[in-house]
Every structure is written in structure tokens, then in C-alpha cells.
Amino acid sequence: MSVFDTIRNRRSIYDFEPEPVPREVIARVLETAVWAPNHKLTEPWRFLVVTGKTKETLAGIYRRIQREKTKSDDPGIQRKSAEKGYAKIMSKPVIIVVVCKKDADAFRAREDYAATCCAIHNITLAAWEEGIGMQWSTGGLTRDPDTLELLKIDAREEEIVGFLYAGYPAQVPAQKRVPAAERTEWFA
Ligand SMILES: Cc1cc2nc3c(=O)[nH]c(=O)nc-3n(C[C@H](O)[C@H](O)[C@H](O)COP(=O)(O)O)c2cc1C
């Protein structure tokens, strides 16, 4: 696939086939991340690949978050949304957690965050070429203190830029965009 086609065809994937993604494929895809543009070559990123028991624990954290978020006082409704949350996380074959180093200098921190976002897009595009779909998430689970503790992330040193839920797509949603031509001015 050409870069143009990969960029144009990639979609955020929410529904996955249950089969796992081979470890070597994930490792190969992650190698593209570190070739992201990165001002001052700070290489601010780390990648945590989550499956198995750790994913189950994350799903349990999300179960608790969803229970707490339920507006109803009805325990049956609370249980239902909690279990739906648990099942949602369990349905993601692998979760790649992308972590960025924090920096006391606000400008450096912004540039490192930008570079990490570029790294994430490299990952999602390379994954797409391998037939793997991803969804970038910045939902509550990615910022919950229990998540940070589970993944041994010190919030004074690092932040999670995103969870990448990943697997073989069961469904590829349609999307649309305003053409760039409508947002472009040419100066000469
Ligand atoms: C920084 C960032 C955070 C995102 N967080 C979420 C999220 O928390 N939940 C979600 O459903 N999608 C999330 N997305 C995915 C977007 O919703 C998705 O990219 C958008 O709907 C466009 O779809 P496409 O990626 O298929 O073009 C996020 C995307 C980005 C770039």
C-alpha cells in the first residue's frame, strides 16, 4: 500500500476479532514509532504492551469507573454498565500504552508531546499495513490512579498520551472529512 493509501484508508477501529496479534508483529510495528520526528532527539516515549492478567486487571478498573459513572442508584443498572465496561476492555486483543516523559520546561513538554503523537500515528499507520486496526483512547481509564499504579507509571515523571486498543478489525467504520482544499490558502 502506498503511504497515501494507508493514510487515506486507516480508520479508528472499535470492534475486533478475538484472535491475538503476534508479538513479533507488534514489535515490528513499534519500531516505526521511534522514527517519528523529534525535536532535540529527546526520545520521550515508552511503550507498554498489555494483554493477559494485566488486561484483566485494567478491565476491572474500568468496571469500577463505569459503575461510579452510572447516574442511576439502581444496583441492577449499575452492575449492567459495570459489566459492559469490563467486557469492552476484555474485547480488545491487545492494548498498547504510549507514555511520554514530562518536562519542567513547558515548551519542551509540548514538543515532546507532539513527537509522541507523531510516534503514535506511525504506529497506527504501520499497524494498518499489517492488517491491524487501532483506536487511540484518552478516556478516564488512561488517567485513573489505579491504572498508573498497575503500570508502574510515576505521574511526576511521565504521562499516558494514549491507549491504543488494537487487533484485527471486525468492522471498519466509514468516516468523512472536509477536503484540505477548503482549508488551504496559497501565498505567493
Ligand atoms: C488524541 C486523540 C484521542 C482520542 N481519544 C478517543 C477516545 O477517548 N475515545 C474514542 O472513541 N476515540 C478517540 N479518538 C479517536 C477519534 O475519535 C477518531 O480518530 C475520530 O473519530 C476520527 O476517526 P478516524 O480515526 O477513523 O479517522 C482519539 C483520537 C485522538 C487523535
- What is the model's pTM? 0.97
Q: Is the CB of 12 under 6 A from ligand 1?
A: yes
Amino acid at 21: V
Q: Could you tell me which of 96, 26, 22, 84 has the C-alpha nearest to residue 59?
A: 84
For atom 17 of ligand 1, the residue with the nearest CA is 12
**What is the CATH number assigned to the segment(s) 3-51+93-172?**
3.40.109.10
pLDDT one-digit tens code per residue, 78-115:
999 999 999 999 999 999 999 999 999 999 999 999 99
Q: Could you tell me which of 57, 79, 58 has the C-alpha nearest to residue 70?
A: 79
Phi, psi of 82 (to 5 degrees): -65, -45
Q: Is the CB of 22 under 6 A from ligand 1?
A: no
For atom 2 of ligand 1, the residue with the nearest CA is 136
Q: Is the CB of 143 under 6 A from ligand 1?
A: no
pLDDT one-digit tens code per residue, 112-150:
999 999 999 999 999 999 999 999 999 999 999 999 999
What ranges do the domains of the chain cover? 3-51+93-172, 52-90
Q: Is the CB of 113 under 6 A from ligand 1?
A: no
Q: Is the CB of 9 under 6 A from ligand 1?
A: no
